[in-house]
Structure 1
């Protein structure tokens, strides 16, 4: 038992506290009202860039919470159309469409593009993305729980699982990505390359080509990537090649 406690402290508690310390030492907006939500200028102008496009985005959340978690969303653009952004949030309508600029900052934090597809590749997958968005089972008012989920990352993770052709998962600091209702303990990818065990998002384990090896506790992740060597630390995310 002592070794288990020591493992949890060293692999989960210490990195999380270190990330909180780094965050606290930095400068952050005082409130959502003072935060910058404007476009980060990452996407081409839709009026000029005509081909279809598809993006999965993530950005650090506000306040100290941002030391441990990111917010994620999905952006689609059919050929000759404008961008459509899908988020799940804790206020208003749970699944929001175009509530913010497609590549907007989140609480003043510049987002990261996790994946982008263009042209025929995007055109082929956009209908599947839209179908997965419509099929999300926690899309009503009141269906948002900041932790362990279902939250914004639970929503995007649902879409990614249902469109495996994207071939990605959310980063380890996407708290809530591993949420499953109790009773839904085991998730096996269609290609059998990724296995997830989840206790309602409170604890779990994942192994496979997308995850490497992940131990999950309280929404935090400690683990290793093998195919592309790296380590995953609570708060800091993935560090490696």
Structure 2
């Protein structure tokens, strides 16, 4: 009986620790979204370079807090591309309210996600970006879960972004620890990390561990991650994400100057 109570106390303590971040965000006025998704802004945040001013190719990866209470736990991520000389960006993402969940369309690359301001995770430009774009298109078309969507533990929008990054050599980008679904590997148990140098083990996205040069060390429990990132000089907290002094991902000089 005492052993059972001890294990129960340990379980409840661990669960409370995992939920501390989301609970803090739930009580924070900074994450209160719009009253209705119909009226929530989808306007550009003014982060991406305008095509008429920057004709070079651009590849960017963004994320923003998920809609409503989901934002206390996770972010929604997407990929934006612009070929050299193109007049518009193409946005690649997964949304769960359609039968065919993959969307690849002309759109604003840095628009708010239903009221939530986007954050730029990576910014690649010029010849390097132009070389990546055809393979990105191929990876988008090859995404294996085109009619499947599960907000937790995946496959979802973050599963898609992580899939594309893994499938494109040279697109080495670490996604934030609160991108729930990035660790969903389908039938696989072991895979390379999106950041390019490192590996992760995941049991269906419910439990796993990740170690990479860009990602640092993450422990994933029920989709919530905690850990440390020496390269970014940061720590990772469930729900809150990464509190870091540096961005370990590739960033253009212009984007780095603006951060």
State the TM-score, normalizing by the size of structure 2: 0.84
Could you tell me whether the CA contact under 8 Å between 1:37 and 1:100 is conserved in 2? Answer: no
Is 1:209 matched with 2:213?
yes
Equivalent in the alignment of 1:137 = 144
Shift in Å, 1:139: 1.4
Shift in Å, 1:20: 2.3
Query: Larger deviation: 39-48 or 122-131?
Result: 39-48
CA distance in structure 2 between the partners assigned to 1:116 and 1:49 by the alignment? 13
The within-5 A match list for 1:217-232 is 217-232=221-236
Is 1:88 matched with 2:57?
no
Kindly indicate whether structure 1 or structure 2 has the higher relative contact order, using CA contacts under 8 Å at least 6 residues apart.
Answer: 1
Could you tell me whether the CA contact under 8 Å between 1:11 and 1:233 is conserved in 2? Answer: no
Shift in Å, 1:129: 1.1
Equivalent in the alignment of 2:253 = none
Superposed structure 1 runs of 4+ greater than 4 Å apart: 189-192
Which of residues 4, 8, 14 in structure 2 aligns to 1:8?
Answer: 14
Is 1:104 matched with 2:108?
no
SS in structure 2 at match of 1:98: strand
- In the alignment, structure 1 segments of 5+ residues that lack a partner are none
Equivalent in the alignment of 2:130 = 123
CA distance in structure 2 between the partners assigned to 1:190 and 1:116 by the alignment? 15
Shift in Å, 1:209: 1.1
Call closer, same or farther: CA 1:66–1:190 in 2, change over 3 Å: closer
CA distance in structure 2 between the partners assigned to 1:180 and 1:201 by the alignment? 7
Aligned length: 237
CA distance in structure 1 between the partners assigned to 2:217 and 2:207 by the alignment? 14
Could you tell me whether the CA contact under 8 Å between 1:11 and 1:222 is conserved in 2? Answer: no
- In the alignment, structure 2 segments of 5+ residues that lack a partner are 1-6, 246-259
CA distance in structure 2 between the partners assigned to 1:184 and 1:50 by the alignment? 40
SS in structure 2 at match of 1:132: helix
Could you tell me whether the CA contact under 8 Å between 1:20 and 1:68 is conserved in 2? Answer: no
Call closer, same or farther: CA 1:149–1:191 in 2, change over 3 Å: closer
Equivalent in the alignment of 2:33 = 28
Could you tell me whether the CA contact under 8 Å between 2:44 and 2:109 is conserved in 1? Answer: yes
SS in structure 2 at match of 1:114: strand
The within-5 A match list for 1:42-53 is 42-53=47-58
State the TM-score, normalizing by the size of structure 1: 0.90
SS in structure 2 at match of 1:166: coil
Equivalent in the alignment of 2:158 = 153
